[in-house]
Structure 1
């Protein structure tokens, strides 16, 4: 398989048409080798517009969704980022290229180990994989400039919002099928949050997030 041609086709046929036009994001998609992150059995499907199984009922996001989330979060070089739901580690790798530090939290031990191995092979020394309950976040490492939920949730847990810096933002895909929306929440002050619906999409539910102590907008 010609991975470079498949990568080019993914970017031009799936990702650009879905309003991912940030040159920095498109460049990262060319540089970070997605085929090195997906499970070996699905390596030839790394560039297809579909979710890939990771085991234990977990699914990797489709490439265009990952790219749109990365663009929407707009991470800057000085920032510390928390990702909930590591999956393959591909999105964490792209975040690592843009942020100062990334901590990515995965609930499944085997998936966390594989993602950690993928990230080490890719040379991402500023990305750390932790095993744990994503609903709780990492209060001991807070506050964060940005938090990304790499999957869908019914509602955003208040515990995660409280781990944002004032001026920080959280991005999550919120809702239930058939209506889910990528929603950006900004922490305006210690007590005030403002949310903005960015785009409609569908994504697999993050494990453990079906019922949560949540913040209602």
Structure 2
């Protein structure tokens, strides 16, 4: 029988801590959340591998290092509302739930959203709302948000998403340029975003976040 608890500890000790992630809420969350419960059944054995985990349909669970460093750069506080875009089967939302006041987990694949809701409930993540809808449209009815996290690659961020971020809020996502990518943290001031590079990472670009998408009628 697989000892997932030991694998979880090893993930934190070999992938997260060596990446200079030291904030206790992040370490605690990644030690506590059972990643194997938030991946497709056929992928359970690969749940703690070093790399993005394929969910199919150009979607991934971000590798532990990337998610941990992204959350570290965002410094989510316990009184903040977070929009988690592209939540997939709910792993990222479960982790963020340990550090935020509340999380809205947005997922446009109805089957994944339904499974995420069930798994999050079973995990006791009662401060997460699962919202089914188009990723690029956000979830305005639950906002505005203190923090927005995008669980996948982007070429650009749609204005509809930026509009749902509070002034003074921040956003984190993986900007891709071909095969190369970097995580950037964006800060909103007077309605405008300013971005700074955080670290290198990669992820497939989400539908609705590709440059050409904004020109389609």
Give secondary structure in 1 for the equivalent of 2:115.
helix
Runs of 4+ in 1 over 3 A off after TM superposition: 211-214
Distance in structure 1 (CA, Å) of the matches to 2:87 and 2:140: 18
Distance in structure 1 (CA, Å) of the matches to 2:10 and 2:118: 27
Report the CA distance shift for 1:27/1:159 in structure 2 as closer, same or farther (over 3 A): same
2:204 aligns with 204
Q: Map 1:51-200 onto structure 2 (within 5 A).
A: 51-189=52-190, 191-200=191-200
The answer to whether the 8 Å contact 1:77/1:99 transfers is yes
Report how many aligned residue pairs link the two structures: 213
The answer to whether the 8 Å contact 1:135/1:212 transfers is no
Distance in structure 2 (CA, Å) of the matches to 1:52 and 1:187: 31
Gaps of 5+ in 2: none
Distance in structure 2 (CA, Å) of the matches to 1:58 and 1:111: 11
| TM-score normalized with structure 2 length | 0.91
Compute the RMSD of aligned alpha carbons.
Answer: 1.7
Report the CA distance shift for 1:57/1:200 in structure 2 as closer, same or farther (over 3 A): closer
Cα distance, 1:208 vs structure 2:
3.3
Gaps of 5+ in 1: none
Distance in structure 2 (CA, Å) of the matches to 1:122 and 1:107: 21
Cα distance, 1:84 vs structure 2:
0.6
| TM-score normalized with structure 1 length | 0.91
The answer to whether the 8 Å contact 1:158/1:213 transfers is no
